[in-house]
Amino acid sequence: MISFTKEWQRILPIVNEFAVGTAKHSICTLFLLCIISTSTPKHTPHLQHITMKIMVAVKRVVDYAVKIRVKPDKTGVVTQNVKMSMNPFCEIALEEALRIRESGLASEVVAVSIGPSQCVDTLRTGLAMGANRGIHVESTASLFPLSVAKIFRKLVEIEKPDLLILGKQAIDDDCNQTGQMVAGLLNWPQGTFASEVVLDKEKRVATVDREVDDGIETVCLNLPAVITTDLRLNQPRYATLPNIMKAKSKPIQKFTPEELNVEIISDLEIVEVTEPPKRKAGVIVSSVDELIQKLKNEANADDLDTTCDWVYNYLCLGNLLGHQVFMQISFGFTAVLSAVNGFLCQVFRIVKQICYRQKGACAFGNSLTFTIHIGANLFYFASEIEHVNGDGDRVDFELKQANSNTWPPMQRSWGSRWALN
C-alpha cells in the first residue's frame, strides 16, 4: 500500500502535464475550427451573385374609400382628420418589387416617400409589407410631378438602383407623369402601364407587357430602367402583425430637398378646386318622340345638326384618308339627333373606321350613304357604301350585324359587333 502510493505520487505530475497539454491542444484545435468555419462562406452560389437593388416610390394619399370634400376656400381637399393610406398603384409597385426579390433576382428593396412628416407612416407600411429600408424626403410644399422627378433623380444617383418602380399614377391628382419624367431625366428606358414584368438578370433585360388600346404591347428594357405599374399586374399582400412590429426597427433615412440640391420651383398653380357636378339618374323612354323631346329640352340640343357637317370637316380636314379628298356624305334619319347626345359619336367612329380601311380605294366623288334607326332603349345601325373606282367599276360594301336576330343595346361596344365584308 505504501509503495503504491509513492509510485502514484511519482506518476501523477506526468499525468497532469499530459492532461493539460492534451486540453490545450484540444482547445487550440477547436479554436482553429471555429476560425475556419466562420471565415469560410457557406455554399450558396445562388445568393453570391445577387446584387440587384430595386427602388420603389410610395405616396401618401387620402384613402380610396373616403368621400372627398373640397375646402370652403376651394384651395384643395380636406385632409385633416381624414384616413390616409398608401396609393393603391404604389402598393402594386411595391408588391412587384417584393416578388422579384423573393424570386432571387434582387437583394434589396428600398421604399421612398416624398412629403410631410406623416409620410413616415406610409413608409412603415411599406416596411411591414417587406421592404428592407426606407427613405423619406421631407417637404411641406406642394410638389408637382417635375419636382418629384428631380428628387428621384438625385436619390437614384445616391442609391444607384438597377430598377425604379412607380405606380402609373396617384389617385389624388391622377397626373400619370412622374415615371415618364424620371426616365427622361435619367435617360433610362421606360415601360409604363405594366401588366406583367419578367426579368432576365443574366442579360440585364426587363420584359414588360403593356395594356394599350390595340391589345398587349411587349417592350424589352435594358437595365437600369423605369417601370410604372397598372392595376392588373398583381394583388398586393397584407402586412401581418409580426411584420408590422419588425417594421418599427427597420431604418428610415431622412433627406430634405435642400440637402439633395433640388430647388422646388413650379410653373403650375392650382387656381381652384371644385367638386364634379352631380350626375342625373338615367331615365327610360317609351317612344322615339319622347326621346327627341328630352334631348331638345333637357340636353340643350335645340340646334340639332342634320347635315352632319362635323363628320365632313373631320374626314377632310383631318386628312384621315391619307390625302385630301372631296366626299359627298348624305345621312338619312328616322329620328333627328346630333353629336351632343352621344349617339352619333358611335356612328362617327364606325364611319371613320370604314373610310380608313378603304383609304386605298377611295377617290374623288365618293358617295357614302348611312341610315340611322333609333328605337326605344335601342340603337340600330345599317349602312351601305357605294364606291365607284377610276375604271367605272362599282364596288358595294355592306356593313352587316354579327347576329341579326339580336339587336345590340346602345351601351354595347360597337368595335366588336360589326364586320366589313
> pLDDT tens digits for 53-89?
999 999 999 988 888 888 888 888 888 888 889 999 9
What is the model's pLDDT at position 250? 93
End-to-end CA distance of the chain: give it in Å, rounded: 125
Q: Which residue has the higher pLDDT, 92 or 319?
A: 92
Q: Which residue has the higher pLDDT, 332 or 239?
A: 239
Phi, psi (deg, nearest 5) at residue 353:
-65, -40
The most confident of 43-57, 227-241, 280-294, by mean pLDDT: 227-241
What is the spatial distance between Cα 382 and Cα 372, in angstroms, rounded to a whole number?
Answer: 7
Strand 418-420 vs strand 394-401: parallel, antiparallel, or unpaired?
antiparallel
Name the grid cell of 66: 373616403
Residue 194 scores a pLDDT above 50: yes
Torsion over CA of 388, 390, 393 and 398, rounded to 10 degrees? -30
Q: Which residue has the higher pLDDT, 217 or 343?
A: 217
What is the model's pLDDT at position 137? 94
What is the model's pLDDT at position 260? 92
Matching residue, cell 407612416: 121
For residue 374, what are the β-bridge partners? 379
Query: 346: which residues sit within 8 A by CB, 6+ positions away?
Result: 379, 381, 410, 414
The most confident of 4-18, 91-105, 200-214, 379-393, by mean pLDDT: 91-105
What is the model's pLDDT at position 65? 85
Residue 395 scores a pLDDT above 70: no
Name the grid cell of 54: 430595386
What is the spatial distance between Cα 335 and Cα 301, in angstroms, rounded to a whole number?
Answer: 13
Q: Which domains does the chain have, with CATH numbers?
A: 51-255 (3.40.50.620), 288-420 (no CATH)
| Helices of type H across 216-277 | 241-247
What is the spatial distance between Cα 23 and Cα 196, in angstroms, rounded to a whole number?
Answer: 63
Stretch 334-343: mean pLDDT: 35
Q: Are 255 and 138 in contact (CB under 8 A)?
A: yes
Q: Count the neighbouring beta carbons within 10 Å of the beta carbon of residue 200.
A: 12
What is the spatial distance between Cα 402 and Cα 421, in angstroms, rounded to a whole number?
Answer: 11
What is the spatial distance between Cα 374 and Cα 9, in angstroms, rounded to a whole number?
Answer: 124
Respond yes or no on whether the N-terminal peptide bond of residue 409 is cis (omega within 30° of 0): no
What is the spatial distance between Cα 229 and Cα 89, in angstroms, rounded to a whole number?
Answer: 7
Q: What's the predicted TM-score (pTM) here?
A: 0.58
pLDDT digits (tens, 9 = 90+) for 299-330: 555 444 433 444 444 444 443 333 333 333 33
Q: Reduce the secondary structure of 262-325 to three states and give it as a string.
A: CCCCCCCCCCCCCCCCCCCCCCCCCCHHHHHHHHHHCCCCCCCCCCCHHHHHHHHHCCCCCCCC
What is the model's pLDDT at position 339? 35
Query: 99: which residues sit within 8 A by CB, 6+ positions away?
Result: 234
For residue 325, what are the β-bridge partners? none
| Helices of type H across 115-144 | 119-129
